[in-house]
Amino acid sequence: MFKKRLLLGMVILLVVGMLFAQGAKEEKKTVIRWMWLPEAMGDVENGPFMKALQAKFPDVEFQLEPVLYSAYPDRFPVMIAAGDVPDIFQGHTQYMPQLVEADLIYDLTAALPKYGPDIVGNARDGQLRYGQYGGKQYAIPGSYLLKYFSQNIRMDWLEKLGLEVPRTLEEFREVARAFVAGDPNGNGKKDEYATAFRTNVNFIDSFFLAFGVAPNHHQTGMWQVRDGKHTFDWVQPEMKEALMELASWYKEGLIHPESLTFGWNDWWNAYLRDSVGMWYHQPRRLSEMNTALKQAGVEDANMWPIAPPIGPKGLSGTANEGQPWATFFGKNGNLEKCIEILNYTYTQEFFLACGGRNDVYYPSQRTLNEKGWPKFYSYEEMLADPNYEERRTEVLYSMLYTGWCIENPNMTNTWPDRELAEYVKQQFKNTLSPAQVVGNELADTYAVTSSKPVPVPADAKYFTRLQDKFREIASRIVSGRGNPDATWNEWLDYYAKNGGPEIEKEVNELFPL
Section 378-405 average pLDDT: 90
Section 349-353 average pLDDT: 98
Pick the CATH number of 150-321+438-510 from 3.40.720.10, 3.40.50.620, 3.90.550.10, 3.40.190.10: 3.40.190.10
Using one digit for the tens of pLDDT, what is the confidence trace for 465-483?
999 999 999 999 999 999 9
> What is d(CA 103, CA 111) in angstroms, rounded to the nearest whole number?
17
Asked whether the predicted pLDDT for residue 17 surpasses 60, the reply is no
Hey, is 14 helix, strand or coil?
helix
Q: Binning pLDDT at 50, 70 and 90, where does residue 453 land?
A: confident
406 φ, ψ (degrees, to nearest 5): -75, -15
Per-residue pLDDT, 8: 52
Considering the chain, what is the average pLDDT of its residues?
Answer: 91
> What is d(CA 230, CA 223) in angstroms, rounded to the nearest whole number?
6
**Helix or strand holding residue 475 (H, E):** helix 457-479
Asked whether the predicted pLDDT for residue 133 surpasses 70, the reply is yes
Calculate the CA 511 to chain-centre distance.
26
Asked whether the predicted pLDDT for residue 26 surpasses 70, the reply is no
CA distances from 320 to 148, 405, 453 (A): 7, 19, 11
Per-residue pLDDT, 285: 86
Query: Where are the alpha helices (H) located in 325-375, listed in sequence order?
Result: 335-344, 348-353
pTM for the whole structure: 0.82
Question: Which stretch of 14-18, 197-201, 482-486 has the lowest confidence by average pLDDT?
Answer: 14-18
Per-residue pLDDT, 296: 87
Would you give the DSSP letter of residue 255? B
> What is d(CA 307, CA 72) in angstroms, rounded to the nearest whole number?
31
Q: Pick the residue with more confidence: 21 or 409?
A: 409
CATH hierarchy code of domain 30-143+324-375: 3.40.190.10
Per-residue pLDDT, 20: 47
Asked whether the predicted pLDDT for residue 244 surpasses 70, the reply is yes
Asked whether the predicted pLDDT for residue 376 surpasses 90, the reply is yes
Q: What separation, in Å, do the N-terminal and C-terminal C-alpha atoms of the chain show?
A: 93
Asked whether the predicted pLDDT for residue 423 surpasses 90, the reply is yes
> What percentage of the chain has pLDDT greater than the value 90?
73
**β-strand 364-368 against 374-376: which pairing, if any?**
antiparallel
> What is d(CA 308, CA 152) in angstroms, rounded to the nearest whole number?
8
Using one digit for the tens of pLDDT, what is the confidence trace for 73-105?
888 889 999 999 999 999 988 899 999 999 999
Q: Binning pLDDT at 50, 70 and 90, where does residue 14 land?
A: low
Long-range contacts of range 245-251, CB-CB < 8 Å, 24 or more positions apart?
245/169, 245/207, 245/211, 246/201, 246/204, 246/207, 246/208, 246/478, 247/477, 247/478, 247/479, 247/480, 247/484, 249/173, 249/176, 249/194, 249/195, 250/478, 250/479, 250/480, 251/480
Asked whether the predicted pLDDT for residue 409 surpasses 50, the reply is yes
Q: Binning pLDDT at 50, 70 and 90, where does residue 51 land?
A: very high
Per-residue pLDDT, 2: 47
276 φ, ψ (degrees, to nearest 5): -130, 135
Q: Binning pLDDT at 50, 70 and 90, where does residue 28 land?
A: confident
Q: Binning pLDDT at 50, 70 and 90, where does residue 27 land?
A: low
Give Dmax (Cα) for the chain: 108
Per-residue pLDDT, 16: 46
**β-strand 88-92 against 325-329: which pairing, if any?**
antiparallel
Residue from 152, 207, 156, 206 nearest 182 by CA: 156
> Do 377 and 385 form a contact (C-beta atoms < 8 A)?
yes
Using one digit for the tens of pLDDT, what is the confidence trace for 227-241?
999 999 999 999 999
Asked whether the predicted pLDDT for residue 118 surpasses 50, the reply is yes
> What is d(CA 414, CA 349) in angstroms, rounded to the nearest whole number?
11
Section 127-131 average pLDDT: 90
What ranges do the domains of the chain cover? 30-143+324-375, 150-321+438-510
Per-residue pLDDT, 143: 81
Per-residue pLDDT, 7: 52
Per-residue pLDDT, 325: 86
> Do 513 and 228 form a contact (C-beta atoms < 8 A)?
yes
> What is d(CA 290, CA 449) in angstroms, rounded to the nearest whole number?
28
Q: Binning pLDDT at 50, 70 and 90, where does residue 46 land?
A: very high
Residue from 176, 310, 167, 311 nearest 238 by CA: 311
Q: Binning pLDDT at 50, 70 and 90, where does residue 24 land?
A: very low
Residue from 340, 325, 395 nearest 37 by CA: 325
Asked whether the predicted pLDDT for residue 199 surpasses 70, the reply is yes
Q: Pick the residue with more confidence: 88 or 14?
A: 88
> What is d(CA 513, CA 509) in angstroms, rounded to the nearest whole number?
9
Asked whether the predicted pLDDT for residue 214 surpasses 90, the reply is yes
Asked whether the predicted pLDDT for residue 202 surpasses 80, the reply is yes
Question: Which stretch of 206-220, 240-254, 281-295 has the lowest confidence by average pLDDT?
Answer: 281-295
Asked whether the predicted pLDDT for residue 3 surpasses 80, the reply is no
Secondary structure tally for the chain: helices H, strands E: 21, 17
Calculate the CA 227 to chain-centre distance.
33
Q: Pick the residue with more confidence: 217 or 113?
A: 113
Using one digit for the tens of pLDDT, what is the confidence trace for 280-326?
998 988 988 998 898 889 989 999 999 999 999 999 999 986 677 89
Say yes or no: do domains 30-143+324-375 and 150-321+438-510 share a fold.
yes
